[in-house]
Amino acid sequence: MNTKDIFDITIIGSGPAGLFASFYAGLREMKVKIIESHDRLGGKVHVYPEKMIWDIGGLTPVPGRQFIQQMVEQGLTFSPTVARNETVQSIQRDDTGMFHIHTTKTIHYAKTVLLAVGGGVIAPIKLELDHAHQFEQGNLHYSVKRLKDFQDKRILISGGGNAAIDWANELAPIAKQVTLIYRGEALKGHENEISRLHHNQVNYLTHTQLGKLIGTDGHIHAAHLKNTETLQTHMLEVDAVIVNHGFHRDYQLIRESNLDIDLKDDYFVKGNAAGESSVPGLFAAGDILTYQGKLHLIAGAFQDAANAVNSAKLYLEPNTVETALVSSHNEAFKEKNKQYMYN
């Protein structure tokens, strides 16, 4: 093992938590590597490139695509080593405390590891309806890539969480008609967004689920909707169907590592607000980390990332300061700060 191949911290995942951790670790002059299973950085935000992101303090709403660009630019500020198209399969810790990170291509070595994998390598939960797959190349969608593709169309959205509600509100001003259905009793989104459904004249039906898709040549033209209480059905003519039923999680990384990681619900890493897990030197940030008082927002992922990096720095250098100075005090930003101040 060549010492130049050993990193102070290896970050697994390049979503909001992973990219901010990379930036913050650079502030703390740590040698950083990022491992990402996809060919591009940005994490799950790529699922909704045109969705407006509201929940970051001090940042006016921006579409996901722009947010990704800004995150990546910030995350690469200190030129970390980046390994793309590599899925981490397991993590081992040897007798010296060195972590061996096994991927689909090679083995990486790190003094500390930060898990920032969110929900893991994810895939949308698809409809378990007969012949539903034949419409996936047509007008059955599991994500929204471009809003304009739905202009002047009759849209049916299935799902009752924030994603489904957000899409209903985003699409309502440009669509001919938006209908939102949810099999439960009450929608689960933020209160203000649910109120916006009324303002945007979105027709939403609770206790309702998809019963059958009707179409020809890979194109849906109607859907049978079923009331889960009365069992009554009715047909709705549609031009597009969007399904937001959540995502499947890939448990392989946790399952095949020989680390004694304390878990919650068989997947989430149980830790604390400092990002520490039950394994010395292994830290977590973002959606994969759970602890009392956890903030499940992108803003919370940023705080998790900074706390975890500070913990990793203290783990490596017990006598160092607990937190970094603010970024404006860092030498790397003096010239950049002048640009912003005087332009």
Position 258 pLDDT exceeds 90: no
- Calpha distance 205→71 (Å, rounded): 37
Per cent of the chain over pLDDT 70 is 91
Query: Looking at residues 238-260, what average pLDDT do you find?
Result: 84
Position 326 pLDDT exceeds 90: no
φ/ψ (deg, to 5) at 241 = -125, 130
Cβ burial 99-112 (10 Å sphere, 16+ → b, else e): bebbbeeeebbbbb
Q: Which CATH superfamily is domain 3-122+249-342 in?
A: FAD/NAD(P)-binding domain (3.50.50.60)
The CATH architecture that domain 125-246 belongs to is 3-Layer(bba) Sandwich (3.50)
φ/ψ (deg, to 5) at 258 = -95, 20
Task: Please report the pLDDT score of residue 58 as a whole number.
Answer: 84
Q: How sure is the predictor about 310, in pLDDT bands with cuts at 50, 70 and 90?
A: very high
Task: Please report the pLDDT score of residue 73 as a whole number.
Answer: 96
Position 235 pLDDT exceeds 80: yes
CA 312 to chain centroid, in Å, comes to 23
- Calpha distance 128→139 (Å, rounded): 17
Q: At what angle do helices 16-27 and 298-316 cross, to 10 degrees?
A: 40
pLDDT in tens, 57-91: 888 888 899 999 999 999 999 999 999 999 999 99
- Calpha distance 249→227 (Å, rounded): 29
Domain limits, the chain: 3-122+249-342, 125-246
| Of the candidate ranges 113-127, 158-172, 304-318, the one whose mean pLDDT is the lowest | 113-127
Q: Please identify which residue in the block is written with the tokens 């509201």.
A: 54
Task: Please report the pLDDT score of residue 122 as a whole number.
Answer: 64
> Quick one: tokens of 246?
């959540």
